[in-house]
């Protein structure tokens, strides 16, 4: 399949995005903003529609709308501090409504929107590849250089602010980077499933990783496995890559959770078979330790 | 030396002020408790002092010598943060060094020693490789306090720090804070409801009686 240029582009684009999207996912999940990527993809779709209606670059408009959406969500998050899901609901509804109205103004758009909605291997153009590469570099620089303040911010905002982190500035920068990554990932997985590439690998990693840094590494590895195997399956089955990638990542998550449960249960049984309930054994071990 | 000075502070969340004309001075090297009934705006007062909230009127001034660079804060119920936070205990406590290290500087031996010392002081050294989410509420609180101490703050602000701790841990904690004030020269302010058990270690109590404030020397 690599004899085709579009497949080379698709794999390269997917590989680049899977370097940063799962890392973003780790932060989004921990900041309880998992649905932000979904929301921004809907906003981005409105941008694509507007670009088409106004005869501007749909890719660029989608990109700018996603960034703008991120900034507005962050601003609203500060207004609705106690209801963090409200900004997401407001912006998602607004984005979708705007996209629907704009699409109805130009009915010829409906067909090409399929590739935006579900993703398409052939949708990755040369220009998009350059955009994706630029976003990957910016994203990597952001997450690597600012990993310490980002860690503090994610842990607790007030503590971070007191210890000198410029919380507001960093939060807005985070929102901008989120918008950029969402817009860049859209051609591969599509509007509807963009969050699968961002949230599912991190959901898996957060259950299994032993520390913060290893969670990011595991999320990237999971994302890469899902994306590459999904693209391959998509090529051979002639199905939209978004759906296949999401299903593979979901399967990885479910298998992981299942295996962890079995391992835990087996360990408990082994302790029980050894003769004592877990609590008693712990108690006895403590007593032995004290007598020593 | 006055570290922080609050003058005629008025603040509210909606239309009604919850703090009215409160003034207080925080002197260097004091161990101060902020106390009062529920809803007396103790946490609000701390947040105003830390610049996390802006007063409707009045001023909060920090000594130029202190600036804002050496202030550490442990919020109320820090222990209730996301149970799934994927950090190990040592990773979290080490992050207390970030303000000093900035973006790029590497950890040196003295920082590793500081982390070890703080973890031993709160009794979590043995549990340093456990994930934060696996700790009990009291242990999480201790980890957050260790993280704050690692910052080597001039001013340490603690909001109900002993919540979830057993009696022996609370006593050890007060002794440790007293030691931080006397030997390390830090200033410690903590919100507490347990004045009875803490008063032997304190220099002063700021008592908020709902909207007003009275200063009690011990």
ipTM (interface predicted TM): 0.85
Instruction: For residues A196 and A172, give the distance between their C-alpha atoms in angstroms, rounded to a whole number.
Output: 23
A206 touches chain B (CB under 8 A): yes
Among A164, A207, A215, which would you mutate to test the B interface (most chain B Cβ atoms within 10 Å of its Cβ)?
A: A164
Asked whether B69 and A164 are in contact (CB, 8 A), the reply is yes
Q: For chain B, what is the mean pLDDT?
A: 84
- pTM for this predicted structure: 0.83
Same domain, B46 and B100: no
Q: What is the mean pLDDT of residues A2-13?
A: 84
For A258, the domain range is: 5-291
Same domain, B60 and B84: no
Which of B72, B84, B92 lies closest to A163 in CB terms?
Answer: B72
pLDDT score at A278:
52
Q: What would the 3-class secondary structure string for B151-197 be?
A: CCCCEEEEECCCCCCCHHHHHHHHHHHHHHHHHHCCEEEEECCCHHH
Q: How many domains are contained in chain B? A: 2
- Residues B48-104 pLDDT 10s: 988 899 999 988 888 776 655 588 999 886 666 666 788 889 999 999 888 888 888
Contact across the interface for B74 and A164, Cβ inside 8 Å = no
Q: Which residue of A has its CA nearest to B132?
A: A211
Same domain, B91 and B121: yes
CATH of the domain at B47: 3.40.50.300
At residue A250, does pLDDT exceed 90? yes
Contact across the interface for B101 and A148, Cβ inside 8 Å = yes
pLDDT score at A219:
94
Q: What would the 3-class secondary structure string for A191-257 be?
A: CCCHHHHHHHHHHHHHHHCCCHHHHHHHHHHHHHHHHHHHHHHHHHHCCCHHHHHHHHHHHHHHHHH
pLDDT score at A195:
84
Same domain, B125 and B142: yes
**Helix intervals (H) in chain B:** 42-49, 89-94, 98-101, 109-121, 137-150, 167-184, 195-198
In sequence order, which residues have a C-beta less than 8 Å from that of residue B117 and are 6 or more positions away? none
Among B78, B86, B191, which would you mutate to test the A interface (most chain A Cβ atoms within 10 Å of its Cβ)?
A: B86
Last residue of a domain, one of B134, B153, B172: B153
Q: Is residue B179 part of a domain?
A: no
Of A193, A244, A241, A203, nearest in space to A41 by CA? A193
Instruction: For residues B204 and B195, give the distance between their C-alpha atoms in angstroms, rounded to a whole number.
Output: 11
In this structure, the strands spanning B31-35 and B187-191 are parallel
Q: How many domains are contained in chain A? A: 1
Q: What is the mean pLDDT of residues A284-288?
A: 47
Residue A177 banded pLDDT, cuts 50, 70, 90:
very high
Q: For chain A, what is the mean pLDDT?
A: 84
Q: Is residue B146 part of a domain?
A: yes
pLDDT score at A289:
45
Greater model confidence, A209 or B211: A209
Instruction: For residues B74 and B66, give the distance between their C-alpha atoms in angstroms, rounded to a whole number.
Output: 19
At residue A288, does pLDDT exceed 60? no
- Residues A103-129 pLDDT 10s: 887 766 665 667 777 777 676 788 888
Residue located via tokens 């705006």: B41
pLDDT score at B68:
52
B87 touches chain A (CB under 8 A): yes
Q: Is residue B118 part of a domain?
A: yes
Q: What is the mean pLDDT of residues A73-85?
A: 79
Q: Is residue B104 part of a domain?
A: yes
Same domain, B87 and B136: yes
Q: What is the mean pLDDT of residues B172-178?
A: 89
Q: What is the mean pLDDT of residues B175-188?
A: 89
For B210, the domain range is: 1-69+157-164+186-218
User: Cα–Cα distances in Å, from A267 out to A33, A218, A257, A262, A272?
Assistant: 34, 24, 15, 9, 9
Greater model confidence, B143 or A187: B143
- Residues A35-54 pLDDT 10s: 888 889 888 888 888 888 88
Q: Is residue B181 part of a domain?
A: no
CATH of the domain at A37: 1.10.3470.10
- Residues A199-233 pLDDT 10s: 999 999 988 888 888 999 999 999 999 989 998 99
């Amino acid at each position: 399949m690599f004899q085709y240029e579009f497949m080379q582009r698709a794999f390269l684009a997917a590989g680049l995005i899977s370097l940063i999207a799962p890392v973003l996912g780790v932060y989004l999940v921990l900041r309880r903003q998992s649905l932000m990527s979904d929301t921004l993809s809907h906003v981005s779709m409105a941008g694509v529609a507007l670009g088409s209606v106004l005869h501007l670059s749909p890719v660029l408009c989608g990109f700018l709308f996603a960034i703008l959406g991120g900034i507005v969500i962050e601003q609203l998050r500060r207004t609705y501090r106690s209801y963090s899901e409200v900004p997401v609901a407001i912006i998602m509804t607004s984005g979708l409504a705007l996209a629907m109205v704009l699409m109805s103004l130009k009915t010829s758009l409906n067909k090409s929107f399929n590739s935006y909605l579900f993703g398409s291997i052939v949708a990755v153009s040369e220009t998009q590849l350059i955009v994706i590469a630029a976003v990957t570099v910016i994203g990597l620089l952001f997450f690597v250089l600012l990993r310490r303040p980002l860690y503090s911010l994610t842990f607790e905002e007030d503590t971070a602010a007191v210890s000198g982190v410029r919380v507001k500035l960093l939060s807005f920068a985070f929102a901008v980077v989120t918008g950029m990554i969402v817009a860049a990932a859209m051609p591969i997985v599509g509007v509807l499933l963009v969050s699968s590439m961002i949230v599912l690998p991190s959901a898996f990693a957060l259950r299994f990783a032993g520390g913060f840094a290893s969670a990011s590494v595991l999320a990237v590895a999971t994302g890469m496995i899902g994306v590459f195997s999904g693209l391959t399956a998509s090529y051979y089955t002639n199905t939209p890559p978004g759906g296949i990638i999401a299903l593979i990542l979901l399967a990885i998550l479910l298998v992981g959770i299942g295996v962890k449960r079995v391992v835990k249960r087996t360990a408990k049984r082994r302790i029980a078979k050894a003769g004592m309930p877990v609590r008693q054994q712990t108690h006895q071990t403590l007593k032995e330790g004290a007598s020593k | 030396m006055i570290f922080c000075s609050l003058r005629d502070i008025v603040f509210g969340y909606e239309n009604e002020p919850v703090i009215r004309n409160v003034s207080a001075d925080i002197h260097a090297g004091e161990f101060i408790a902020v106390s009062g009934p529920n809803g007396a705006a103790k946490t609000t007062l701390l947040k105003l002092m830390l610049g996390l909230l802006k007063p409707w009127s009045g001023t909060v001034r920090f000594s130029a010598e202190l600036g804002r660079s050496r202030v550490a804060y442990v919020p109320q119920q820090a222990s209730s943060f996301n149970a799934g936070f994927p950090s190990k205990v040592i990773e979290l406590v080490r992050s207390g060094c970030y303000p000093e290290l900035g973006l790029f500087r590497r950890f040196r031996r003295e920082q590793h020693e500081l982390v070890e010392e703080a973890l031993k002081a709160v009794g979590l050294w043995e549990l340093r490789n456990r994930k934060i989410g696996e700790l009990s509420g009291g242990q999480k609180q201790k980890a957050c306090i260790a993280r704050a101490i690692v910052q080597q703050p001039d001013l340490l602000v603690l909001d109900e720090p002993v919540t979830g701790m057993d009696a022996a841990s609370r006593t050890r904690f007060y002794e440790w804070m007293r030691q931080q004030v006397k030997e390390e020269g830090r200033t410690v302010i903590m919100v507490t409801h347990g004045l009875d058990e803490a008063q032997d270690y304190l220099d002063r109590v700021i008592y908020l009686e709902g909207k007003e404030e009275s200063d009690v020397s011990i």
